[in-house]
Amino acid sequence: MLTPHPVLAAIVQSTVSPTADEWQELLTVTTTERFAKGSILLEDGAHNDRLHLMVEGVCRHYFLDADGNEVTSWFSEPGMLATDYRAFTEGAPSLFTIQALTDVVCMAIRSKDMQAL
């Protein structure tokens, strides 16, 4: 029997109370992804097919302004999402880049797997 990461369990259980079978179904399509400091989780303009729930580390979300300067718009920490949710749900290109500021560990689920749940 698979056991959810405590951060994933806290997020899920804050909104729903899955049965043991539902937990197993979710955990079979959820993967752990690791990113080294400086890695790009999502590039501006790329299609986003993964929802990343932060477990460890910090990411920044940024875009380029008209002059080409990086403008930080958000930080993701454990328990938060590191994704362009609009791009994830609509299949649209991302409007910003997500970069790991530290080594990062995320729980990830692909769009098609989430829709199948």
Q: Can you read off the two tokens belonging to residue 13?
A: 């259980």
pLDDT of amino acid 96: 95
Q: Residues 33-91: pLDDT tens digits?
A: 999 999 999 999 999 899 999 999 999 999 999 999 999 999 999 999 999 989 988 98
pLDDT of amino acid 3: 82
Residue 10 pLDDT > 80: yes
Comparing CA positions, the residue from 105, 107, 94 lying closest to residue 57 is: 105
Rounded to whole angstroms, how far apart are CA atoms 1 and 116?
A: 21
Looking at mean pLDDT, say which of 1-10, 57-66, 107-116 comes out highest.
57-66
What does the pLDDT average to over 6-12? 83
pLDDT of amino acid 63: 96
Domains, the chain, ranges and CATH? 31-116 (2.60.120.10)
Query: pTM score, two decimals?
Result: 0.86
- Backbone phi and psi for residue 51, each to the nearest 5 degrees, phi listed first: -100, 120
